[in-house]
Amino acid sequence: MNLPAAPTRRSLLPFAFLAPALAVEVAIICYPVLQTVWMSLHDFVLFRPNSVPFIAFGNFARAFMDPVFWLSLWNSVLWIVFIVLFQFLLGLGTALLLNRSFWWRGLARALVVIPWALPSVIIGLMWTWMYDYNLGVINDLLLRLHLIGAPIAWLARPDTTLPSIMLALVWQGFPFFAVTILAGLQTVSQEQLEAAEIDGANAFQRLRSVVLPAIAEVLATALLLRTIWVANSLDVILVMTGGGPGYASHTLPLYAFLKAYSSMEIGYGAALSLILTALLLFVVYAYVRRAARAEAAA
Amino acid sequence: MERRTFLKLTGATAVAGALARPVAAQQQTTVRWWYHFDNPQASPNDLIAKFEAANPGIKVQAESIPWGGGNDYYTRLFAAIVAGSGPDCAMVKLNNQARLLELQALAPLDDMVSGWADKGDIADSIWTLNKASDGHQYYLPLQYVVIYLYYRTDMFAAAGLKPPTTFEEFRAAAKALTKDGVFGFGMRGGAGGYDNWGPFVLGGGADFKKGGMISDAALKANRFYVGFNTQDKIISPSAPTDGFQQIIANFKAGRSAMAIHHVGSSNDIAAVLGDKVSAVPVPHGPDGKGWTLYGDESNAVFAAAADKAAAFKWVSFLSTGANNAAFNALTGQLSVTGSGAKLDTIHQPRFVAASTASLPVAGVLPDSSKTADFTGTVWPTEMQQALLGQITPDAMMQAIETLYNG
């Protein structure tokens, strides 16, 4: 009868190499997450640190009964869908243009990264003044083009505030898609493209049937990552409107931030952020599955 | 010198030096002080140097913390205190005193104040205003402003109008001056705008006691104020989210005829408008009563401070006569000291006069842990929704009533 071989020191070596990274991971990710979970289960108000009663899922129940939570969640859905969609479309178009040959292509590729490189606070301040009712260039341009008859208070109307901020985010984030897709376009087979052209496919048909399938993996990864980042973003909204007017530009991460840091209701803010995390886990799961499948295929 | 003598002297010097350094270090205290200035280029370094020269054993480590409308500053302060890394003393306002007390973060200053030689240079009314609900003195007054009404003297003269003294006069003047791209009133509906709302609503009969926000007088006053947008159209469409920068910029550019703020902005405005701007107390109701915001600012010493006496020495230095005047030259606000006020050369007399004339009706928001919520989230969101017609003015007042009184 054959006995199982005893574990050797060599099989423990990978764990030893991974241990420092795992320790950092536990310290800066796992511990704060566990702490957030703990806070969400307590009525933790920052200026009452000596009275933190355990309330189990009381904060979560409060969220589900909170109309501002549902409004923020709905705004977050709109926020994610439209920002990622338009960032993708604009980024794809830009990548296709930058993939062509023209004499200042190098400069164009460098310039297109600028929105991505600017700090979010600068972007928020810049777009706030662009949207300004009296001094903003957007109103000035639209008035000169006779597209509007009077200035619009873009950031003071509930129907225009969120779309206005979303436009700023689309401008900020499309370079990520442009650069990522451009890199993917370099791997598209020229022979396939030429063959498709010879077979009579027009530009759109070549894009749909040759280019996009070839870069599908790149697109999927970029879309998944961008969805997670956009879902969590709150810095530009915070600078531009602070969530107003009223609750018009409240998204879930912003609401969690305001509850935690403005109202100092850390427990409730933690619960709101965990709800968002749970919703995003579906996206994370899809990303991890995709990555594992790609690794297995390789 | 003999070798043995030289060695003895060298050894003695080394021992003496080693002993002397620790002794000098024990006498040195560092006081960490957090502050915020509207003008980021202003620096308290000269005052610190003067203080340190007079107090060789105390070193002041001043840290400028971004104000961010108030939320940023207080978020950092509370988080630092809870984390155990808070400053020894800091600039604070009354609307956060209740929360700091609940946190047990403040050191009572009663004994130190009673032994302070310059205590009498600050008016009794200011001491009373800054006293906490438990009767103790935790705040040392530092500066103040009083909210008043700016108006364009040229626009009023051209329209044959006098500066308004009542609510109705205010509305009539604003209506008359709203034309040709100019709005009669540059309302601040964004963060901090409760100081625009307060004169009309708290001055119109509302108060924070139980039922005080939903009384007939309170509801009527708030409907009057919200009506500036929904009915009278005397404010800019951007008003619901206009903050300090926007209302002052619009007033300086001639896009509004009246704006409500305080002496801290007077030099900046007067530099642009010169004699075309002046100020008067905010209007009052038909019964002659009124209300305006007393914009306080104090220093507090924290309970966790290692050397409270040293921290008090620094903050009391800042609230003493000439030092207080020098400090307020940096902040643009008014000195809390009688002697410091006489040394004020940076403010134009007409704006100081408007501030002083407003003092009899100046008040503060309630000393309650709810007040920070009121100013930071409840008032802005409810006011903006009411101005935009998303909720009724009465619903706004009900929300404030619920916040304070359940």
Provide the pLDDT for residue A10: 60
Closest of B260, B222, B193, B200 to residue B400, by C-alpha: B222
**Based on the structure, what is the number of domains in chain B?**
2
Strands B29-35, B58-64: pairing kind: parallel
**Residues pairing with B256 in the sheet:** B183
Q: Are B150 and B252 in contact (CB under 8 A)?
A: no
- Looking at the fold, whether B283 and B305 belong to one and the same domain comes out as no
pLDDT digits (tens, 9 = 90+) for A128-180: 999 999 889 999 999 999 999 999 999 999 999 999 999 999 999 999 999 99
In sequence order, which residues have a C-beta less than 8 Å from that of residue A93 and are 6 or more positions away?
A: none
Q: Are B110 and B219 in contact (CB under 8 A)?
A: no
Provide the pLDDT for residue A9: 58
Residues in A touching B100 (Cβ below 8 Å) = 47
Q: What are phi and psi of B277, to 5 degrees?
A: -130, 140
pLDDT digits (tens, 9 = 90+) for B328-376: 999 989 999 999 988 988 899 999 999 999 988 999 999 898 998 999 8
Q: Pick from A75, A134, A135, A152 the residue to mutate for testing the B interface (most B CBs within 10 Å).
A: A134
- Looking at the fold, whether B209 and B244 belong to one and the same domain comes out as yes
Residue B367 within a domain = yes
d(CA B395, CA B386): 8
pLDDT digits (tens, 9 = 90+) for B36-91: 987 778 899 999 999 999 999 999 999 999 887 677 899 899 989 989 999 999 99
Provide the pLDDT for residue B4: 54
Q: How many CB pairs under 8 A join A and B?
A: 90
Residue B19 within a domain = yes
Average pLDDT over residues B29-34: 97
- Looking at the fold, whether B312 and B287 belong to one and the same domain comes out as no
Half-sphere exposure of A290 (CA within 13 A, CB side): 16
A245, A261, A264 member nearest B240 (Cβ): A245
Q: Tell me: cis bond preceding B366? Omega within 30 of 0 counts.
A: no
- Looking at the fold, whether B230 and B315 belong to one and the same domain comes out as no
The ipTM of this complex is: 0.83
Chain B interface includes A275 (CB < 8 A):
no
A47, A155, A242 member nearest B78 (Cβ): A47
Give the domain CATH number at B385: 3.40.190.10
Domain that holds residue B213: 148-293+363-405
d(CA B85, CA B102): 18
In the structure, what pLDDT confidence band is assigned to residue A3 with cuts at 50, 70 and 90? Answer: low
pLDDT digits (tens, 9 = 90+) for B133-147: 899 999 999 999 999
| Residue A160 CB-density burial (10 A; 0-12 exposed, 13-18 middle, 19+ buried) | middle
Q: Which residue of A has its CA nearest to B243?
A: A241
Residue B8 within a domain = no
Share of residues in chain A with pLDDT > 90 (%): 64
d(CA A169, CA A234): 10
State the average pLDDT for chain A.
90
- Looking at the fold, whether B181 and B116 belong to one and the same domain comes out as no
Share of residues in chain B with pLDDT > 90 (%): 79
- Looking at the fold, whether B137 and B161 belong to one and the same domain comes out as no
Average pLDDT over residues B31-39: 92
According to DSSP, residue A54 is labeled: B
- Looking at the fold, whether B313 and B212 belong to one and the same domain comes out as no
pLDDT digits (tens, 9 = 90+) for A27-74: 898 999 999 999 999 999 988 888 899 999 999 999 999 999 999 999
User: Domains in chain A, ordered, with CATH?
Assistant: 53-297 (1.10.3720.10)
Q: Measuring CA to CA, how many Å separate A257 from each of A237, A238, B180, B241?
A: 12, 10, 42, 20
Asked if the model's pLDDT at residue A6 lies above 60, the reply is no
The encoded tokens of residue A187 equal 């791997």
Provide the pLDDT for residue A26: 87
Closest of A29, A31, A37 to residue A60, by C-alpha: A37
d(CA B342, CA B338): 7
Report the b/e string of B153-189 with b at 16+ CB within 10 A.
eebbeeeebebbbebeebbbbbebbbeeebbbbbbbb
Residue B241 within a domain = yes
CA B342 to chain centre: 21
Residue B121 within a domain = yes
Q: What angle do CA A251, A252, A255 make, to 5 degrees?
A: 85
Q: Do B238 and A133 touch (CB under 8 A)?
A: yes
A156, A158, A262 member nearest B238 (Cβ): A156
Q: Are B265 and B248 in contact (CB under 8 A)?
A: yes
Chain A interface includes B102 (CB < 8 A):
yes
Alpha-carbon torsion B84, B86, B89, B94, what sign?
negative
State the average pLDDT for chain B.
91
- Looking at the fold, whether B139 and B19 belong to one and the same domain comes out as yes
d(CA B318, CA B299): 9
- Looking at the fold, whether B66 and B162 belong to one and the same domain comes out as no
What residue type is assigned to position B397 of the chain?
M
Which residues 32-71 on chain A approach chain B with CB closer than 8 angstroms? 46-50
CA B33 to chain centre: 17
- Looking at the fold, whether B212 and B318 belong to one and the same domain comes out as no
Half-sphere exposure of B271 (CA within 13 A, CB side): 9
Residue B358 within a domain = no
Asked if the model's pLDDT at residue B317 lies above 50, the reply is yes
Residue B382 within a domain = yes
Helix axes B379-387, B194-201, angle to 10 degrees: 70
Residue B218 within a domain = yes
* 3-class DSSP assignment, residue B24: helix
Q: Measuring CA to CA, how many Å separate B246 from each of A120, B70, B239, B262, B273?
A: 21, 17, 9, 15, 16
pLDDT digits (tens, 9 = 90+) for A88-138: 999 999 999 999 888 999 999 999 999 999 999 999 999 999 999 988 999
In sequence order, which residues have a C-beta less than 8 Å from that of residue B261 and are 6 or more positions away?
A: B147, B148, B150, B195, B244, B247, B248
Closest of B310, B281, B312 to residue B299, by C-alpha: B312
- Looking at the fold, whether B246 and B388 belong to one and the same domain comes out as yes
- Looking at the fold, whether B47 and B114 belong to one and the same domain comes out as yes
Asked if the model's pLDDT at residue B15 lies above 70, the reply is no
In the structure, what pLDDT confidence band is assigned to residue A257 with cuts at 50, 70 and 90? Answer: very high
| Residue A271 CB-density burial (10 A; 0-12 exposed, 13-18 middle, 19+ buried) | buried
In sequence order, which residues have a C-beta less than 8 Å from that of residue B133 and are 6 or more positions away?
A: B98, B367
The encoded tokens of residue A123 equal 């972007």
* 3-class DSSP assignment, residue A245: coil
Structure-model confidence comparison of residues B107 and A224, the more confident one: B107
Asked if the model's pLDDT at residue B280 lies above 70, the reply is yes
Asked if the model's pLDDT at residue A5 lies above 60, the reply is no
Residues in A touching B380 (Cβ below 8 Å) = 242, 244
Closest of B289, B279, B267 to residue B354, by C-alpha: B279
Q: Measuring CA to CA, how many Å separate A183 from each of A158, A171, A173, A174, B322?
A: 39, 20, 16, 14, 66
